[in-house]
Structure 1
Amino acid sequence: MLLSNTIYIKIYENRVYIRNIDDRKEIELSSTSPFTTERLLIGNFTVAQTLLIKGIKIVMGKKFFVPIILMHPIEKIDGGLSQVEERVLKDLAIIVGAQKITLWVGQELTDKDVLQKVKQKQ
């Protein structure tokens, strides 16, 4: 059985909030190069990827646990996510090493809510 940490990632225009639910470590990072475009929350995949990798390393520390990630886009979500936007978010989670991925569009979640949502997904 793999050890894992549950990670809650909120994505805003050109910044991310990452919280390790299990360790309660969190960080908010802003991108020096924009990853948001006029039309897309994640328009520059590589910049968003670099920022997420940096943040995951900070909240995970030196542990080699495979994260369970809940991705939560906060901005530029009018009308919900398109299939392409869902794919971008899932691909980002895979690249940062996610074992399981849950996407959420809606109100911001408490730690308890995050754990319930990822458990429902399993």
Structure 2
Amino acid sequence: MRPSLYLKLSCNQMHLTHVQSARTLHLHADPAFSNVRLLVADFAAAQQLLQSGVTELLPRRFLRLSWPPQLLIQPLERLEGGLSQIEERILLELGLGCGARKVRLHLGAELDSAGVIAKLRR
């Protein structure tokens, strides 16, 4: 089974969970990737932070056996009026840039592991 990752994205913070093991990382941006208008304003900084989290969460031996992972991204802030097509594209590209095979977006209540798996199966 391919690893499933759940990314909850807040201003300058990422909460990345490996669904199968329930291991979670709380990543704080330095430099900041958010600004007053956009959740991801500095794409390179956000991508570097996410990539470091994925590398830390999925050991090398695990990577060889089941790479690439699938990723569900849930933005938690700056959602007034919904996401624009540009914001959706930024989030999808962020996931693909960290090496995910499949990237899905979720707007709504936070999910448990079964909910994440269900969203990724669609």
Specify every segment of 5 or more residues in structure 1 that has no aligned partner in the other structure, as ranges: none
2:71 is aligned to: 69
Q: CA RMSD in A?
A: 0.9
Once residues 32 and 57 of structure 1 are traced to their aligned partners in structure 2, the CA distance between those partners, rounded to angstroms, is 18
Tell me whether 1:29 sits opposite 2:19 in the alignment.
no
How many residue pairs get aligned? The number is: 118
1:51 is aligned to: 49
Once residues 80 and 107 of structure 1 are traced to their aligned partners in structure 2, the CA distance between those partners, rounded to angstroms, is 14
Q: Structure 1 stretches (4+) deviating beyond 4 angstroms? A: none
1:39 is aligned to: 37
Displacement of 1:23 in angstroms is: 2.0
* TM-score (norm: length of structure 1): 0.93
1:87 is aligned to: 89
Deviations 1:3-59 (A, max 9, x none): 520000000000100000012211001011110011100000010001000111111
Once residues 75 and 49 of structure 1 are traced to their aligned partners in structure 2, the CA distance between those partners, rounded to angstroms, is 18
* TM-score (norm: length of structure 2): 0.93
Once residues 26 and 57 of structure 1 are traced to their aligned partners in structure 2, the CA distance between those partners, rounded to angstroms, is 13
Deviations 1:60-96 (A, max 9, x none): 1212221100010000011111000000000011110
Q: Percent identity?
A: 31
Specify every segment of 5 or more residues in structure 2 that has no aligned partner in the other structure, as ranges: none
